[in-house]
Amino acid sequence: MSTHIAAEPGQIASHVLMPGDPLRARWIAETFLEDPTLYNDVRGMLGYTGTYRGVRISAQGSGMGQPSLGIYAQELFEQYDVETIIRVGTCGGLSDRVKVRDVVLGTAASTDSAMNTPRFGHVTFAPAADFELARIAASVAEERLLPYVAGGLFSSDQFYNPDREITSTLARYGVLGVEMEASALYTLAAQFSRRALALCTVSDHLLTGEETSAQERQESFEDMIIMALETIVHLEHRSA
């Protein structure tokens, strides 16, 4: 077991879907995976492994924010040899290029976090999605007619950001949505030479004030989970 995950070696699949909410990890496992087994409940950060269309896949909660995701992603990459993490979450829409229920395929993740300062000093590293995963996820969405927009995310350390200007500045620079985890995930995937992608449904829109209902959130979340699971199946088949 690692410091925060109670799994034995081999209990976690090479490919992991990572929602922020651990109860979403349980829901993903119970709804989409065959023979799901719970491998972690330390701190309630549930993790399950099962199979989807014959491919072994885990669903692991990350908690909210980059420090929390950073703990789980690093332990998965470093101690459980995980190859792929797809974050499946929500974001606030920043740009008129997205509307609620769209999936933002996060090609890059800007951040206001200081987490990379000890890694790169005065250099601003550009955390980016794995191109292969992004390419496959886009083609899965196109085949299935799932509404998605590819572009930048803003991974903020503050949900309640007192700086109201920053999101409009970032939107002018093409950033589509604000969330709180992708940048740390992309940085850790780069550090360990693994694949990562963040998919985020737009749950609320900062420009229009529009919000999704609980029912809409559930439906768009389901579509996004299928997009993530099918991406992993396609990735496995192309590398087989």
Q: Angle 233-239-240 (CA atoms, 0-180°, nearest 5)?
A: 85
Chain position carrying tokens 């909210």: 64
Per-residue tokens: 153: 């995310």
Task: Work out whether strand 175-179 and strand 84-93 pair parallel, antiparallel, or are unpaired.
Answer: antiparallel
Number of residues that bind ligand HPA (CB under 6 A): 10
In the region spanning residues 67 to 96, those forming contacts with ligand HPA, defined by CB under 6 A, are 90-92
Phi/psi at 178 (nearest 5 deg)? -110, 135
Judged by beta carbon, residue 50 or residue 89, the one nearer ligand HPA is: 89
Q: Quick one: which segment of 37-45, 120-128, 174-182, 217-225 binds ligand HPA (CB under 6 A)? A: 174-182
Helix (H) or strand (E) holding 101: none
96, 157, 204, 223: the active-site residue: 204
Amino acid at 237: H
Minimum separation from the CB atom of position 145 to ligand HPA (A): 24
Would you count residue 180 as binding ligand HPA (CB under 6 A)? yes
Judged by beta carbon, residue 13 or residue 184, the one nearer ligand HPA is: 184
204 is catalytic: yes
Would you count residue 47 as binding ligand HPA (CB under 6 A)? no
Judged by beta carbon, residue 57 or residue 199, the one nearer ligand HPA is: 199
Strands (E), the chain: 15-18, 34-40, 47-52, 55-60, 84-93, 103-111, 148-155, 175-179, 195-205
Would you count residue 110 as binding ligand HPA (CB under 6 A)? no
Amino acid at 187: T
Would you count residue 113 as binding ligand HPA (CB under 6 A)? no
List contacts with ligand HPA (CB under 6 A): 90-92, 156, 159, 178-180, 203-204
Residues known to be catalytic: 204
